[in-house]
């Protein structure tokens, strides 16, 4: 049995005008660390809200540990831990009080499930009397995770837990998720950060209410080979324009302080591109072959969907 089974899930808002989920299907195994990766508005939060029984789907169905999100909503709330996008902490309560509150709501005590949160909680315990509103982003994130874990959920759903958090805290957070996975908890994390894909067992790339691709990072990269080159010249702005005018260019886009150029099949000779750009008068021109990363695949899939 899958820990999470989702079948043809559809959800729209504003009387059908906004299609937030366009028939999503997906299975997540027990103990999997699964990533939902997609930009703002791709439908991540909507999917989490349906899975946590906060809103109803228009059609389709979903189960968590065999429990139906519509029929068994009361049971589901006991087995799911949810960390919403903007952390649902009580700003005026201290760290300690927030944690006790969430434990009490679920009819348990902090002591009973301390083993689950211990290695996260010890990092914020020195500040346990401090109000949640006065904590740094990284500390809030750790407290919110403790609160989501305190009733010993079987499935943990985390909506953009690392958005707006500094890189060191982000790394620490993913290390913590790895340890929760080892304890057998199924973890689903949404994120707009592509580089976090490498921390997940499998990922789903979401765009505009649809899953464009779903697999392990390694398999996704293998499935979408590209003739990809990193290109630089003195005039980067004009370079992008000229790259796009090269016959046989599949796509060209700015990528950090370089441009990435994808050459189509049959026109994958970088020497021709070099000559073309030199004729256009580019100085300090450099072209080197590179291996595609997940961002490159995402852009390719997005362009394929748009055309
Ligand atoms: P994400 O979490 O990936 O940013 P959301 O699920 O929040 O995506 O949003 C998906 C789409 O649904 C977006 O177009 C968003 O504007 C719209 N949407 C989300 N919530 C509502 C709502 N309560 N009312 C109307 N539209 C909404
Ligand atoms: Mg969201």
Query: Mind listing the pLDDT tens digit for each residue in 258-295?
Result: 999 999 877 778 999 999 999 999 999 999 999 999 99
Quote the pLDDT of residue 89: 87
pLDDT at 85: 77
Q: Whose CA is nearest to atom 22 of ligand 1?
A: 13
Q: Tell how far the Cα of 122 is from the centroid of ligand 2, in angstroms.
A: 29
Residue at token pair 């691709």 = 213
Cβ neighbours of residue 130 closer than 8 Å, sequence gap 6 or more: 94, 95
Residue 48's beta-bridge partner residues? none
Confidence of residue 248 (pLDDT cuts 50, 70, 90): confident
Q: Is the pLDDT of residue 306 over 80?
A: no
| Cα 160 to Cα 150: distance, rounded to the nearest angstrom | 19
> E strands of the chain, at which residues?
4-13, 18-28, 33-37, 59-64, 67-68, 80-83, 155-159, 186-191, 202-207, 210-215, 227-232, 249-255, 258-263, 286-289
- Alpha carbon nearest to ligand 1 atom 27, residue: 13
In whole angstroms, give the CA distance from residue 136 to residue 200.
Answer: 26
User: For residue 173, is pLDDT > 80?
Assistant: yes
CA distance 38 to 201: 17
The pLDDT > 70 percentage for the chain reads 100
Q: What's the rounded mean pLDDT across residues 175-196?
A: 92
For residue 47, give the ligand nearest its CA: 1
- How many Å lie between the centroid of ligand 1 and the Cα of residue 88? 18
Predicted local distance difference test score (pLDDT) of residue 137: 85
For the chain, the average pLDDT equals 92
In the reported structure, the alpha carbon of residue 58 is separated from the centroid of ligand 1 by a whole-number distance in angstroms of 14
Ligand 1 atom closest to Cα of residue 38: 3
Distances (CA, A) of 180 to 12, 177, 187, 282: 33, 5, 8, 52
Which of 102-110's residues contact partners 24+ apart within 8 Å by CB, and which partners? 102/147, 102/148, 102/150, 102/151, 103/150, 103/151, 106/78, 106/150, 106/151, 107/151, 108/150, 108/151, 108/152, 110/150
Which residues of the chain form CATH 3.30.70.2070? 226-291
pLDDT in tens, 100-143: 999 998 889 999 999 989 989 999 999 999 999 999 888 898 99
Across residues 76-80, what is the average pLDDT? 92
How far, in Å, from the CA of 41 to the mean position of ligand 1?
5
Fold of 226-291: Alpha-Beta Plaits (3.30.70)
Return the pLDDT at 35: 97
302: left (phi over 0), alpha (psi -120 to 50) or beta: alpha
Shortest-distance Cα residue to atom 21 of ligand 1: 13
pTM more than 0.85: yes
What pLDDT band is residue 302 in, cutting at 50, 70 and 90?
confident
The answer to whether 274 and 232 are in contact (CB under 8 A) is: no
Pocket lined around ligand 1, Cβ cut-off 6 Å = 13-14, 18, 20, 38, 40-46
CATH superfamily assigned to domain 4-221: P-loop containing nucleotide triphosphate hydrolases (3.40.50.300)
Among 41, 44, 206, 208, the mutation site with the greatest number of ligand 1 atoms within 8 A of its Cβ is: 41
pLDDT band, very low/low/confident/very high, at 303 (cuts 50, 70, 90): confident
Distance 245 CA to ligand 1 centre (A): 36
Please check the confidence at residue 87 and state whether its pLDDT lies above 70.
Answer: no
Give the ligand 1 atom nearest the CA of 209. 10
Q: How many CB atoms lie within 10 A of CB 175?
A: 11
Q: Which atom of ligand 1 is nearest to the CA of 45?
A: 2
- Taking Cα atoms as reference points, which of 65, 21, 91, 92 lies closest to residue 157? 65
pLDDT for residue 56: 96
Write out the residue limits of the CATH 3.40.50.300 domain(s) in the chain: 4-221
Q: What value, to the nearest 5°, has the Cα angle with vertex 97 and ends 164 and 188? A: 40
For the chain, the first-to-last Cα distance in angstroms comes to 37
């Amino acid at each position: 049995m899958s820990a999470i089974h989702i079948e043809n899930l559809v959800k729209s808002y504003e009387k059908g005008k906004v299609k937030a989920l366009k028939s999503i299907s997906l299975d997540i195994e027990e103990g999997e660390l699964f990533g939902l990766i997609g930009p703002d508005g791709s439908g991540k939060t909507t999917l989490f809200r349906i899975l946590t029984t906060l809103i109803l789907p228009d059609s389709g169905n979903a189960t968590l540990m065999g429990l139906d999100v519509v029929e068994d909503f009361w049971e589901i709330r006991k087995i799911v831990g949810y960390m919403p996008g903007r952390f649902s902490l009580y700003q005026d309560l201290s760290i300690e009080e927030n944690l006790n509150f969430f434990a009490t709501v679920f009819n348990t005590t902090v002591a009973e499930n301390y083993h689950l949160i211990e290695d996260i909680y010890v990092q914020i315990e020195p500040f346990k009397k401090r109000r949640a509103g006065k904590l740094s982003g990284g500390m809030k994130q750790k407290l919110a995770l403790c609160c989501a874990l305190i009733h010993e959920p079987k499935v943990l759903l985390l909506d953009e837990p690392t958005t707006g958090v500094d890189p060191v805290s982000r790394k620490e957070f993913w290390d913590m998720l790895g340890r929760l996975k080892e304890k057998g908890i199924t973890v689903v994390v949404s994120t707009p950060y592509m580089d976090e894909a490498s921390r997940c067992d499998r990922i789903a790339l979401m765009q505009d209410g649809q899953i464009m691709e779903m697999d392990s990072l390694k398999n996704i990269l293998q499935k979408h080979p590209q003739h990809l080159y990193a290109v630089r010249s003195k005039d980067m702005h004009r370079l992008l324009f000229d790259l796009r005018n090269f016959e046989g260019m599949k796509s060209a886009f700015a990528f950090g302080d370089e441009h990435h150029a994808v050459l189509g099949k049959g026109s994958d000779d970088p020497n021709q591109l070099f000559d073309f750009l030199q004729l256009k008068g580019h100085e300090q021109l450099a072209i080197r072959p590179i291996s595609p990363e997940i961002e490159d695949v995402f852009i390719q899939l997005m362009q394929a969907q748009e055309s």
